Structure 1
Amino acid sequence: MRVTIGRLAETTGVPASAIRFWERHGLLPAPERQGGQRRYPPEAAQRITLLRKFQQAGLTLTEIGEFQQDRPRRQAMIRSKLGEIEQRMIDLDHAHQLMAHALLCSKADILTCATFQQQMATRRPSP
Protein backbone atom coordinates (compact mmCIF):
# COMPACT_ATOMS: atom_id res chain seq x y z
CA MET A 1 0.00 0.00 0.00
CA ARG A 2 1.40 3.39 -1.00
CA VAL A 3 1.48 6.32 1.43
CA THR A 4 1.47 10.09 1.12
CA ILE A 5 4.54 12.21 1.80
CA GLY A 6 2.94 13.38 5.05
CA ARG A 7 2.46 9.83 6.30
CA LEU A 8 5.99 8.88 5.21
CA ALA A 9 7.39 11.90 7.02
CA GLU A 10 5.43 10.98 10.14
CA THR A 11 6.52 7.33 10.18
CA THR A 12 10.21 8.10 9.51
CA GLY A 13 10.53 11.27 11.59
CA VAL A 14 11.99 13.05 8.57
CA PRO A 15 10.41 16.32 7.39
CA ALA A 16 8.59 16.23 4.05
CA SER A 17 10.93 18.99 2.85
CA ALA A 18 13.92 16.64 3.34
CA ILE A 19 12.14 13.88 1.45
CA ARG A 20 11.47 16.24 -1.48
CA PHE A 21 15.09 17.45 -1.34
CA TRP A 22 16.40 13.88 -1.58
CA GLU A 23 14.08 13.23 -4.50
CA ARG A 24 15.38 16.32 -6.36
CA HIS A 25 18.94 15.11 -5.86
CA GLY A 26 18.18 11.58 -7.06
CA LEU A 27 18.71 9.93 -3.67
CA LEU A 28 15.10 8.74 -3.55
CA PRO A 29 13.28 7.42 -6.59
CA ALA A 30 10.49 9.63 -7.87
CA PRO A 31 7.22 8.40 -6.39
CA GLU A 32 4.05 7.68 -8.28
CA ARG A 33 1.46 10.42 -8.34
CA GLN A 34 -2.20 9.96 -7.62
CA GLY A 35 -4.42 13.00 -7.96
CA GLY A 36 -1.29 15.17 -7.93
CA GLN A 37 -0.06 13.73 -4.61
CA ARG A 38 3.13 11.78 -4.18
CA ARG A 39 2.50 8.15 -3.22
CA TYR A 40 5.40 6.14 -1.83
CA PRO A 41 5.88 2.38 -1.71
CA PRO A 42 6.52 0.72 1.70
CA GLU A 43 10.26 0.33 0.97
CA ALA A 44 10.65 4.13 0.80
CA ALA A 45 10.73 4.21 4.61
CA GLN A 46 13.69 1.82 4.63
CA ARG A 47 15.58 3.93 2.10
CA ILE A 48 14.92 7.07 4.18
CA THR A 49 16.20 5.31 7.30
CA LEU A 50 19.34 4.36 5.37
CA LEU A 51 19.81 7.94 4.13
CA ARG A 52 19.56 9.24 7.73
CA LYS A 53 22.12 6.68 8.94
CA PHE A 54 24.48 7.72 6.16
CA GLN A 55 24.10 11.37 7.10
CA GLN A 56 24.75 10.54 10.75
CA ALA A 57 27.91 8.70 9.69
CA GLY A 58 29.09 11.86 7.95
CA LEU A 59 28.50 10.94 4.32
CA THR A 60 27.95 13.83 1.94
CA LEU A 61 25.12 13.85 -0.59
CA THR A 62 27.64 12.93 -3.28
CA GLU A 63 28.88 9.97 -1.24
CA ILE A 64 25.33 8.84 -0.56
CA GLY A 65 24.73 8.99 -4.30
CA GLU A 66 27.85 6.88 -4.88
CA PHE A 67 26.48 4.29 -2.46
CA GLN A 68 23.56 3.81 -4.82
CA GLN A 69 25.79 3.33 -7.89
CA ASP A 70 27.23 0.15 -9.34
CA ARG A 71 29.18 -2.14 -7.04
CA PRO A 72 32.79 -1.07 -7.90
CA ARG A 73 32.01 2.64 -7.40
CA ARG A 74 30.09 1.89 -4.22
CA GLN A 75 32.91 -0.23 -2.81
CA ALA A 76 35.54 2.45 -3.51
CA MET A 77 33.46 5.07 -1.69
CA ILE A 78 32.79 2.71 1.23
CA ARG A 79 36.48 1.85 1.64
CA SER A 80 37.37 5.53 1.73
CA LYS A 81 34.59 6.37 4.18
CA LEU A 82 35.43 3.47 6.49
CA GLY A 83 38.98 4.81 6.81
CA GLU A 84 37.64 8.26 7.71
CA ILE A 85 35.20 6.80 10.26
CA GLU A 86 37.91 4.68 11.85
CA GLN A 87 40.15 7.75 12.19
CA ARG A 88 37.30 9.72 13.76
CA MET A 89 36.75 6.87 16.23
CA ILE A 90 40.43 7.00 17.22
CA ASP A 91 40.29 10.79 17.59
CA LEU A 92 37.10 10.61 19.66
CA ASP A 93 38.56 7.90 21.91
CA HIS A 94 41.62 10.05 22.55
CA ALA A 95 39.46 13.10 23.30
CA HIS A 96 37.41 10.94 25.66
CA GLN A 97 40.54 9.86 27.52
CA LEU A 98 41.72 13.45 27.86
CA MET A 99 38.36 14.65 29.15
CA ALA A 100 37.99 11.75 31.55
CA HIS A 101 41.36 12.59 33.08
CA ALA A 102 40.61 16.32 33.16
CA LEU A 103 37.38 15.63 35.03
CA LEU A 104 39.23 13.83 37.81
CA CYS A 105 42.44 15.89 37.84
CA SER A 106 43.05 18.06 40.88
CA LYS A 107 45.20 20.64 39.06
CA ALA A 108 43.66 24.12 38.76
CA ASP A 109 45.10 24.42 35.23
CA ILE A 110 44.86 21.12 33.40
CA LEU A 111 47.79 22.09 31.17
CA THR A 112 50.10 21.95 34.20
CA CYS A 113 49.22 18.30 34.82
CA ALA A 114 52.05 15.99 33.79
CA THR A 115 49.68 13.06 33.16
CA PHE A 116 47.47 15.21 30.94
CA GLN A 117 50.53 16.48 29.04
CA GLN A 118 51.70 12.89 28.56
CA GLN A 119 48.28 11.82 27.28
CA MET A 120 48.24 14.74 24.85
CA ALA A 121 51.70 13.84 23.55
CA THR A 122 50.76 10.21 22.88
CA ARG A 123 48.38 11.16 20.10
CA ARG A 124 48.91 13.71 17.39
CA PRO A 125 45.75 15.24 15.92
CA SER A 126 44.65 13.80 12.59
CA PRO A 127 45.16 16.02 9.55
Structure 2
Amino acid sequence: MTIGRLAEITKVPASAIRYWERHGLLPAPEREGGQRRYPPEAAERITILRTFQQAGLSLAEIGEFQREQPRREVMIRAKITEIQQRMVDLDHAHQLLTHALGCGQEDIVQCPKFRRQMAQWRTANPAP
Protein backbone atom coordinates (compact mmCIF):
# COMPACT_ATOMS: atom_id res chain seq x y z
CA MET A 1 0.00 0.00 0.00
CA THR A 2 1.11 3.60 -0.47
CA ILE A 3 2.20 5.87 2.34
CA GLY A 4 -1.00 7.85 1.89
CA ARG A 5 -3.14 4.76 2.39
CA LEU A 6 -1.07 3.66 5.37
CA ALA A 7 -1.43 7.13 6.91
CA GLU A 8 -5.17 7.00 6.30
CA ILE A 9 -5.78 3.62 7.91
CA THR A 10 -3.48 4.25 10.90
CA LYS A 11 -4.49 7.91 11.35
CA VAL A 12 -0.81 8.83 11.53
CA PRO A 13 0.53 11.58 9.26
CA ALA A 14 2.79 10.47 6.41
CA SER A 15 5.45 12.81 7.79
CA ALA A 16 5.52 10.80 11.06
CA ILE A 17 5.81 7.55 9.10
CA ARG A 18 8.77 8.93 7.14
CA TYR A 19 10.33 10.22 10.37
CA TRP A 20 10.04 6.78 12.02
CA GLU A 21 11.64 5.22 8.93
CA ARG A 22 14.58 7.64 9.05
CA HIS A 23 15.14 6.79 12.71
CA GLY A 24 14.95 3.04 12.19
CA LEU A 25 11.66 2.48 14.01
CA LEU A 26 9.98 1.28 10.84
CA PRO A 27 11.72 -0.86 8.25
CA ALA A 28 12.36 0.87 4.95
CA PRO A 29 9.61 -0.11 2.53
CA GLU A 30 10.13 -1.44 -0.95
CA ARG A 31 9.70 1.05 -3.75
CA GLU A 32 7.78 0.80 -6.97
CA GLY A 33 8.24 3.57 -9.46
CA GLY A 34 9.86 5.70 -6.75
CA GLN A 35 6.90 5.33 -4.38
CA ARG A 36 7.03 3.64 -1.02
CA ARG A 37 5.00 0.43 -0.90
CA TYR A 38 4.19 -0.93 2.53
CA PRO A 39 3.15 -4.46 3.45
CA PRO A 40 0.00 -4.92 5.57
CA GLU A 41 2.18 -5.59 8.67
CA ALA A 42 3.32 -1.95 8.59
CA ALA A 43 -0.06 -0.85 9.94
CA GLU A 44 0.30 -3.19 12.92
CA ARG A 45 3.81 -1.93 13.63
CA ILE A 46 2.58 1.68 13.53
CA THR A 47 -0.20 0.78 15.97
CA ILE A 48 2.43 -0.63 18.33
CA LEU A 49 4.60 2.49 17.96
CA ARG A 50 1.63 4.73 18.78
CA THR A 51 0.76 2.57 21.79
CA PHE A 52 4.32 2.90 23.08
CA GLN A 53 4.21 6.67 22.58
CA GLN A 54 0.86 6.96 24.36
CA ALA A 55 2.33 4.96 27.24
CA GLY A 56 5.03 7.63 27.56
CA LEU A 57 7.98 5.93 25.90
CA SER A 58 10.38 8.18 24.03
CA LEU A 59 11.48 7.35 20.50
CA ALA A 60 14.87 6.29 21.89
CA GLU A 61 13.15 3.92 24.34
CA ILE A 62 10.95 2.54 21.58
CA GLY A 63 14.10 1.93 19.57
CA GLU A 64 15.44 -0.21 22.43
CA PHE A 65 12.72 -2.76 21.69
CA GLN A 66 14.63 -3.56 18.52
CA ARG A 67 17.89 -4.21 20.40
CA GLU A 68 19.23 -7.42 21.91
CA GLN A 69 17.28 -8.74 24.89
CA PRO A 70 19.65 -7.83 27.77
CA ARG A 71 19.81 -4.20 26.64
CA ARG A 72 16.05 -4.12 26.08
CA GLU A 73 15.40 -5.55 29.55
CA VAL A 74 17.44 -2.78 31.21
CA MET A 75 15.29 -0.14 29.52
CA ILE A 76 12.04 -2.00 30.33
CA ARG A 77 12.92 -2.36 34.02
CA ALA A 78 13.80 1.34 34.25
CA LYS A 79 10.57 2.29 32.51
CA ILE A 80 8.49 0.10 34.83
CA THR A 81 10.07 1.85 37.84
CA GLU A 82 9.35 5.25 36.28
CA ILE A 83 5.73 4.31 35.54
CA GLN A 84 5.21 3.04 39.09
CA GLN A 85 6.39 6.41 40.44
CA ARG A 86 4.12 8.26 38.01
CA MET A 87 1.21 6.13 39.24
CA VAL A 88 1.97 7.18 42.83
CA ASP A 89 2.20 10.82 41.74
CA LEU A 90 -1.09 10.57 39.86
CA ASP A 91 -2.76 8.97 42.87
CA HIS A 92 -1.57 11.86 45.04
CA ALA A 93 -2.86 14.38 42.51
CA HIS A 94 -6.21 12.56 42.41
CA GLN A 95 -6.46 12.64 46.21
CA LEU A 96 -5.62 16.34 46.29
CA LEU A 97 -8.13 17.25 43.63
CA THR A 98 -10.86 15.12 45.17
CA HIS A 99 -10.25 16.74 48.55
CA ALA A 100 -10.10 20.23 47.03
CA LEU A 101 -13.60 19.81 45.56
CA GLY A 102 -15.14 19.59 49.01
CA CYS A 103 -12.65 21.58 51.07
CA GLY A 104 -13.90 24.81 52.61
CA GLN A 105 -10.44 26.36 52.99
CA GLU A 106 -9.73 29.46 50.92
CA ASP A 107 -6.14 28.26 50.41
CA ILE A 108 -5.91 24.48 50.01
CA VAL A 109 -2.31 24.50 51.21
CA GLN A 110 -3.51 25.80 54.60
CA CYS A 111 -6.07 23.00 55.01
CA PRO A 112 -5.06 20.85 58.03
CA LYS A 113 -6.31 17.65 56.41
CA PHE A 114 -4.39 18.37 53.21
CA ARG A 115 -1.24 19.24 55.19
CA ARG A 116 -1.44 15.92 57.09
CA GLN A 117 -1.81 14.07 53.78
CA MET A 118 1.19 15.86 52.31
CA ALA A 119 3.25 14.92 55.38
CA GLN A 120 2.26 11.28 54.93
CA TRP A 121 3.30 11.36 51.27
CA ARG A 122 6.70 12.82 52.19
CA THR A 123 7.21 10.19 54.89
CA ALA A 124 6.24 7.34 52.54
CA ASN A 125 8.47 8.65 49.70
CA PRO A 126 11.35 10.65 51.18
CA ALA A 127 13.30 12.74 48.69
CA PRO A 128 16.65 11.22 47.60
The RMSD of aligned alpha carbons is 1.4
1:62 corresponding residue in structure 2: 60
Identity within the alignment, %:
71
Uncovered stretches (5+) of structure 2, i.e. residues with no partner = none
- 1:57–1:85 CA contact under 8 A, matched in 2: no
What amino acid maps onto 1:101 in structure 2?
H
What is the CA–CA distance in structure 1 between the aligned matches of 2:65 and 2:59, rounded to whole Å?
10
**Cα shift readout 1:44-71 (whole Å, capped 9, x = no counterpart):** 1111111111112221221111111121
1:25 corresponding residue in structure 2: 23
1:78 corresponding residue in structure 2: 76
Secondary structure of residue in 1 paired with 2:121: coil
Uncovered stretches (5+) of structure 1, i.e. residues with no partner = none
TM-superposed deviation, 1:88:
0.4
Q: Single out whichever of 49-58 and 6-15 deviates more from structure 2.
A: 49-58
Greater RCO between the two (CA within 8 Å, min separation 6)?
1
What amino acid maps onto 2:30 in structure 1?
E
The normalised TM-score by structure 2 is 0.91
Secondary structure of residue in 1 paired with 2:56: coil
Secondary structure of residue in 2 paired with 1:79: helix
TM-superposed deviation, 1:72:
1.5
What is the CA–CA distance in structure 1 between the aligned matches of 2:10 and 2:104, rounded to whole Å?
46
Secondary structure of residue in 1 paired with 2:26: coil
Secondary structure of residue in 2 paired with 1:122: helix
1:103 corresponding residue in structure 2: 101
The normalised TM-score by structure 1 is 0.92
Runs of 4+ in 1 over 6 A off after TM superposition: none
What is the CA–CA distance in structure 2 between the aligned matches of 1:47 and 1:100, rounded to whole Å?
39
Matched residue count: 125
Secondary structure of residue in 2 paired with 1:33: strand
- Of 39, 44, 68 in structure 2, the residue corresponding to residue 46 of structure 1 is 44
